[in-house]
Amino acid sequence: MTTTPEPANLTPDQKKYGAHDIPSYLDPNNIGPYEIYLEQVERVTPYLGKLAYWVETLKRPKRILVVDVPVHLDDGSVAHFEGYRVQHNTSRGPAKGGVRYHQDVTLSEVMALSAWMTVKNAAVNLPYGGGKGGIRLDPRKYSQGELERVTRRYTSEIGLIIGPEKDIPAPDVNTGPQTMAWMMDTYSMNVGRTATGVVTGKPVSLGGSLGRGDATGRGVFVAGAEAMQKLGMPLEGARIAVQGFGNVGEAAARIFHEHGAKVVAIQDVTGTIYSEAGINPAVALSHLRATGSILGLGGTEELTREDFWGVPCDVLIPAALEKQITLANAGRIQARLIVEGANGPTIPAADDLLSEKGVTVVPDVLANAGGVTVSYFEWVQDFSSYFWTEDQINERLDRIMRDAFRSLWDVKERHGVTLRTAVYIVACTRVLEARALRGLYP
């Protein structure tokens, strides 16, 4: 029996993952955010037992749609934007995941985000697979009318693969209820009926769910509070540092503050502020809305972006974008606990360093699952046309997040691994069990 020799001139990434594991449409010398996900899958593979037979399923998105989004701008010119929709896996149900508008959106990023959605949905046992979408544009440079036209054209272009039982988009970075209203209306006009279940995160008046706005930040709080209890950290007076003061970071900061914790540092795109005495998130938000910046808030001092990572704190919440915690700043972090509100904020090498330092990380695929959980509630309510109260929503969300955290913590303790690895063990097992049971067609 002969063996096939390893191809010559492999890049380091190809040697790590296998030459056939990197899709041809990615640059093997610069894979991008999808590299983080691939490494996470490699790390969990030894724990999958016989299901490792199917592990290549996790490394390849099921479907990728790249679209051109041409629109008329207000000045009469025509602009073209890159749009993406990636369905990573649908073994356990329809694809589910947000749509982000950002000038740095890439295919690799959307692939990674869709893959993390697969893991996230399986981790909290929602009947979904993973999907994600994005448009490469800076929304700050365009009018409301231009953004509406972009949204409607993008929705029409990806309408081939989305639908209430196929793929359900939701808000993400720089999108929100209004964006989802435009997407729902556009899809509905194209299919000839009102289809409220095609997206989640809609306004309540269009079939949206109460509690959706704070859901991701609330989930961050619940997961963080559970971790603090496991670690013997008191919630009252705990010092919290938050990176990102958008929907997730602001809500998480506010709910921690309401439960007696002390927010000592906030960083967003406008700058970094610090106060040892504590910052009231509601006051900070009012200041941001009034001035366009968190800087200049009374009772706070301005720090450099780099100094944010070294502030004295007990809990750090990265709630901005991916690849924020790196080898360059992980060593400066003083927190005992990191709760990832953003997707993919910590690179694997920094993860290892933090583990060596004794820092516990509640990974994104668990910590920020509150958003998709309430999106699931919204989807269910749209199908039944029966809507729950906000108290019912929050009670069910808290229970799902608590139960998921405790079961995953038990897996962590049993295997002697990080919480991230424990989440991947459980989630990947669930996805691959479904893949194995369904088999391959034809």
Select from 160, 151, 167 the least CA-distant residue to 199.
167
Q: Partners of 84 in the beta sheet?
A: 66, 134
Which residue ranges are tagged as binding site for NAD(+)? 216, 247
Residue 40: CB atoms within 10 Å: 24
Q: Which of 132, 202, 262, 412 is labelled catalytic?
A: 132
Tell me the backbone φ, ψ of residue 64, rounded to 5 degrees. Answer: -130, 125
Which residue ranges are tagged as binding site for substrate? 96, 120, 375
Contact in structure between 92 and 166 (CB atoms under 8 Å)? no
How many CA atoms, within 13 angstroms, populate the side-chain half-sphere of residue 392? 9
Exposure of 305 by Cβ count < 10 A (0-12 exposed, 13-18 middle, 19+ buried)?
A: exposed
Sort strands 271-274 and 262-268 into parallel, antiparallel or unpaired: antiparallel
Could you check whether the bond before residue 23 is cis, i.e. omega within 30 degrees of 0?
A: no
SS3 category, 312: coil
Output the DSSP codes for 240-298.
Answer: EEEE--SHHHHHHHHHHHHTT-EEEEEEETTEEEE-TT---HHHHHHHHHHHSSSTT-T
Residue 103: CB atoms within 10 Å: 12
SS3 category, 326: coil
Contact in structure between 96 and 128 (CB atoms under 8 Å)? yes
Catalytic residue list contains 230: no
Contact in structure between 325 and 338 (CB atoms under 8 Å)? yes
Q: Partners of 69 in the beta sheet?
A: 81
SS3 category, 164: coil
Query: Which residues have a catalytic role annotated?
Result: 132
